[in-house]
Structure 1
Amino acid sequence: MIKVLIADDQELIRQSLSIILGLKEEISVVGGVGDGTEVLEFIAKEKPDIILMDIRMPTMDGVECTKIVKGKYPEIKIIVLTTFDDDKYVFSALKYGASGYLLKGISVDELEKAIHVVYSGGAMINPEIASKVVELFSEMAQQNYDVMIEAENVEKINDMEWDIIKDVGHGMSNKEIADHIGLTEGTVRNYISTILKKIGLRDRTQLAIWEVQSGAQKRRG
């Protein structure tokens, strides 16, 4: 029996997935939680085989939660479920160890297949998303952003700027970053412009790729 934990901030989605997957003979839904912190609390008591992880959740999002879970419990498989086919989210989730990345519009049969594939040690990515992954890896292979950024410029980045860089790497918009950190959108926009000038990058896409490629947030401190 494959034990599955559902992590999604929408109760209706949690209930729907629980009912649907509960009809499958080889799958047992062991719980449903609303954010990343609740995931960590749950798996400290009972470890599922697979977590169906939403990306955009309050308190702790799916990308950060994936990173922590895979660091502490590498045997737990994670399938990211999202309505957003954002390439920056794709790379971050896969970088931190997710085994699958699926859009929520997939059929029940496709989801069941993905669970079995991932449980068996394989990986499952929606075709629409897979093409973006290939494009992103191709771009990253042609550009070495670490080389482009001088060490002394990286050292000029302050704590608030590191927090913003991390959120940009997670694919968050200026409004989402503003809400997360407690600033205005205009202030966030100004911070990003300052960051780009400090480290010599062209735009926020380069900044996001640099963050996920180099684990830029790890340089903090």
Structure 2
Amino acid sequence: MTGPAVTRVLVADDQTVVREGIVMLLGLLPGIEVVGAAADGEEAVALVARHRPDVVLMDLRMPRCDGVEATRRIRAGYPGTEVVVLTTYADDESLFPALQAGARGYLTKDAGGEEIARAIADVRSGAAGLSPQVQLRLLERLSGEPGAVGAVGPVPTGQSSGQSSGRAGAEPPDGLTAREAEVLGLIAEGLSNSEIARRLYVSPATVKTHINNLFAKTGVRDRAQAVAYAFRNGITGSPQ
């Protein structure tokens, strides 16, 4: 009889004490096998090539090759490996470049073992593994609340940073249909396919079709990049 699936994880952090602590913590979690530990981004990419882990827990600020660049190279060269950022920083200058590079998860280092395990499981299942703090930050940026300053990427022509394509009467960008934009907004809110299906009263298969279509139209590769795209274009989900 086949036992439960084991998720193979690589840890990348330049601080020895932190790296060893994360490895020790993961070793106590059921269903997780640590296959390697890297002291910088260059070593992380090399170890991914050697071990082909399912998930990399990636620090951002490391020597030689930082976490954003390492994430970009891993996602481009080894698309079967997901990346969850585990960092001290949750500022916009750290968060959005990491998501745009292909990270599917983003946690801060005050996360506990249960939260880390949940993020690893989420990205393995195709969902986004974002901490509540990061989800709140993304929603603040999407809603344009005061205090949500800065921008990620260029503002589309004819749309200022204060405008929102999610507003009534605005045309969705890149040829998205209104329904596809609605699904994209719900992805940005952190909903799974089944939750979106329930919210919109459609089948999960229909949701998957919408997601495939909107990914193709927007050029995003995964849900994390879809969240960043939704922010840039002011796309929000349907009302409760």
Is it true that 1:132 corresponds to 2:147 in the alignment?
no
Aligned match of 1:41: 46
Is it true that 1:61 corresponds to 2:66 in the alignment?
yes
Deviations 1:25-80 (A, max 9, x none): 31000011011100111122111000000011111111111111111111111000
Contact 2:12 2:41 (C-alpha < 8 Å) held by counterparts:
yes
Aligned match of 2:56: 51
SS of residue paired to 1:59: coil
Q: Would you tell me which structure has more helix in proportion to its own residues?
A: 1
- Give the Cα separation in 1 of the matches to 2:143 and 2:102: 20
Q: Mark the runs of 5 or more structure 1 residues left unpaired by the alignment.
A: 149-208, 214-221
Contact 2:41 2:62 (C-alpha < 8 Å) held by counterparts:
yes
Deviations 1:111-155 (A, max 9, x none): 1111112112211111222222233345689x953648xxxxxxx
Comparing 113-122 with 47-56, greater Cα deviation is found at 113-122
Contact 1:8 1:53 (C-alpha < 8 Å) held by counterparts:
yes
- Give the Cα separation in 1 of the matches to 2:116 and 2:106: 11
Is it true that 1:145 corresponds to 2:187 in the alignment?
no
Aligned match of 2:11: 6
Amino acid at match of 2:70: C
Aligned match of 1:78: 83
Q: Structure 1 stretches (4+) deviating beyond 4 angstroms?
A: 137-141
- Give the Cα separation in 2 of the matches to 1:144 and 1:38: 32
Contact 1:50 1:78 (C-alpha < 8 Å) held by counterparts:
yes
Is it true that 1:23 corresponds to 2:25 in the alignment?
no
Aligned match of 2:117: 112
Contact 1:37 1:59 (C-alpha < 8 Å) held by counterparts:
yes
Q: Mark the runs of 5 or more structure 2 residues left unpaired by the alignment.
A: 1-5, 145-149, 159-227, 233-240
SS of residue paired to 1:145: coil
SS of residue paired to 1:28: strand
Is it true that 1:90 corresponds to 2:90 in the alignment?
no
